[in-house]
């Protein structure tokens, strides 16, 4: 379901009776890819305005795994401990040496510290926004939101980075280009957060949502399974019949919705017929040792699934940190540790991240994929330097940390520094547009590239961002 569907319902969503009959024809052959049905009033295939493709390091990454640690990881208990600060700042955990001489991480990340020479750490990212949704929107789109408070998704939102990659750099080895899994991010019981859709470019730009429980045996992704009564051979016969019926209709159709639906329908056929695409989604093909290495959690298996997807040719996979059953009752859902920060990061959050992130980077390297796969691990912001009276840390967009690996990035770098309490950038302050420009640059999309919006106005994919030279080698 698109992020704005609940908050902006429209009866029949602008589809004509003839369009709806065509959807029925799709269902009759045994396909129900949900993203086909969410393309409510999509625009045509976007018109891209080429930009000069230059600079060192351009296009080194064939794919990207974007790990979104929703809720906001505390920099003090992860990549930027402050052992010399007072106890109400540093917390109860110590720091440990990493594989980089003179650099320490929190003691809660021993496996990550051991491979710190294989990735770059940024300690000076800032949004100056303490709203989960507004700050997250900036991190996921590279565009600032006008709000400082929590906001719902809107049809007027800027397209997410996943959307931009999907439309400007289609995959050439997979029917999937950009995928979000295992669920959309939302704040408490609110609708999905902004920055996860095609925004003003229409739902046809939306990344594919693979909502799933990959830690479960023989899990399935809704809409990508044929009914037991429909074999692949039978599907081929039915799809050929439907395509024949469609040919003249689509050629004569004046509706953008019909043409866009037809394109998505063709993608659905490709997905089900592609043995490579179906195999990429089958975690049972991985050994128990590999699955254990990533961790048998929903997060761990989601990241493993992301590795399989990029290995099969998917361009970008966004893995959202998933909510746990009942975690909204704990006072610190996901990484939002307003209460009992110490016990939450020690017993739940850091052990999972430490195991899974270190496994991913090491696994990609061992498979010879790290040099062509960009890995980004970040939240929407960090946590406050001072521990509050309930033992938690509060929202903090002024300064936070993240990790970036692969795509030829020189490992062992620490980019930027925070002040003595981890509250403000001390050197090399960076902002989301800089990260967005770097991700696009490494994927072979010029940050200066333009596309035409539905009103034929040129839009630049990133505004005000500069490629981070330490990462891109510019």
What SS3 string covers 370-382?
HHHEEEEEECCCE
Q: What is the pLDDT of residues 254-292, one digit of tens each?
A: 555 555 555 565 666 666 666 777 789 999 999 999 999
Q: How confident is the model at residue 24 (pLDDT cuts 50, 70, 90)?
A: very low
Q: Please check whether residue 119 lies inside any domain of the structure.
A: yes
Q: Higher confidence at residue 474 or residue 208?
A: 208
- Which pLDDT score is estimated for 242? 54
Q: Please check whether residues 39 and 152 belong to one and the same domain.
A: no
- Which pLDDT score is estimated for 327? 77
Q: Please check whether residues 153 and 44 belong to one and the same domain.
A: no
What is the SS3 assignment for 450? strand
Q: Please check whether residue 115 lies inside any domain of the structure.
A: yes
Q: How far apart are CA 113 and CA 359, in angstroms?
A: 12
H helix intervals, 127-173: 132-141, 161-168
Its domain, for residue 24, covers 20-49+233-275
* Average pLDDT in the chain: 85
Q: Please check whether residues 100 and 239 belong to one and the same domain.
A: no
Q: What does the longest C-alpha to C-alpha distance in the chain come to?
A: 73
Contact criterion met (CB below 8 Å) for 356 and 294:
yes
Question: What pairs with residue 459 in β-bridges?
Answer: 451
CA 77 to chain CA centroid, nearest Å:
23
Cβ-based neighbours of 284, under 8 Å, separated by 6 or more: 218
Q: Please check whether residues 164 and 269 belong to one and the same domain.
A: no
Q: Please check whether residue 24 lies inside any domain of the structure.
A: yes
Read out DSSP for 414-443?
EE-EE-TTSSSEEES-B-HHHHHHHHHHHT
Q: Please check whether residues 207 and 239 belong to one and the same domain.
A: no
- Which pLDDT score is estimated for 175? 87
Q: Please check whether residue 5 lies inside any domain of the structure.
A: no
Q: What is the pLDDT of residues 391-418, one digit of tens each?
A: 999 999 999 999 999 999 999 999 999 9
Q: Please count the structural domains in the chain.
A: 2
Closest CA to 153 of 302, 7, 292, 328: 7
Q: How far apart are CA 436 and CA 448, in angstroms?
A: 11
Single pTM value for the model: 0.86
């Amino acid at each position: 379901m698109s992020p704005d569907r609940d908050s902006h319902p429209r009866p029949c969503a602008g589809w004509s009776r003839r369009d709806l009959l065509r959807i029925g024809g799709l269902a009759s052959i045994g396909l129900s890819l949900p993203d086909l049905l969410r393309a409510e009033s999509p625009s045509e295939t976007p018109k891209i305005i080429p930009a000069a493709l230059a600079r060192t390091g351009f296009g080194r990454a064939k794919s990207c795994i974007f790990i979104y640690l929703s809720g906001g990881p505390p920099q003090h208990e992860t990549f930027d401990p402050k052992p010399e600060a007072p106890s109400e700042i540093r917390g109860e955990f110590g720091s440990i040496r990493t594989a980089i001489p003179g650099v320490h991480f929190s003691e809660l990340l021993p496996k990550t510290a051991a491979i710190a020479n294989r990735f770059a750490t940024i300690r000076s990212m800032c949004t100056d926004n303490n709203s989960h949704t507004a700050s997250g929107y900036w991190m996921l789109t590279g565009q600032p939101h006008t709000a400082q408070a929590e906001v719902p998704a809107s049809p007027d939102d800027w397209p997410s980075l996943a959307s931009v990659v999907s439309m400007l750099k289609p995959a050439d080895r997979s029917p999937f280009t950009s995928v979000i899994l295992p669920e959309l991010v939302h704040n408490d019981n609110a609708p999905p957060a902004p920055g996860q859709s095609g925004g003003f470019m229409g739902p046809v730009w939306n990344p594919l949502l693979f909502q799933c429980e990959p830690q479960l045996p023989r899990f399935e992704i809704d809409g990508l399974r044929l009914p037991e009564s429909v074999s692949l051979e039978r599907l081929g016969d039915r799809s050929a019949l439907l395509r024949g019926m469609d040919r003249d209709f689509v050629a004569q159709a004046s509706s953008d919705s019909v043409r866009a639906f037809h394109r998505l329908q063709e993608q659905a056929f490709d997905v089900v017929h592609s043995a490579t695409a179906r195999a990429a989604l089958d975690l049972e093909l991985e050994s128990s040792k590999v699955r254990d290495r990533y961790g048998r959690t929903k997060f761990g298996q989601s990241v493993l699934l992301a590795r399989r997807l990029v290995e099969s040719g998917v361009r970008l996979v966004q893995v959202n940190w998933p909510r746990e059953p009942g975690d909204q009752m704990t006072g610190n859902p996901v990484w939002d540790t307003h209460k009992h920060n110490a016990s939450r990061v020690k017993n739940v959050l850091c052990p999972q991240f430490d195991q899974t992130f270190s496994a991913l980077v090491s696994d990609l390297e061992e498979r010879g994929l790290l040099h062509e796969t960009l890995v980004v691990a970040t939240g929407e912001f960090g946590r406050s330097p001072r521990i509050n009276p309930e033992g938690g840390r509060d929202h903090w967009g002024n300064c936070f940390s993240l990790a970036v690996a692969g795509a030829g990035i020189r490992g062992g770098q620490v980019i930027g520094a925070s002040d003595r309490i981890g509250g403000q950038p001390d050197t090399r302050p960076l902002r989301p547009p800089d990260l967005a420009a770097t991700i696009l640059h490494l994927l072979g999309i010029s940050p200066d590239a333009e596309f035409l919006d539905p009103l034929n106005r040129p839009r630049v994919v990133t505004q005000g961002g500069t490629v981070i030279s330490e990462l891109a080698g510019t």
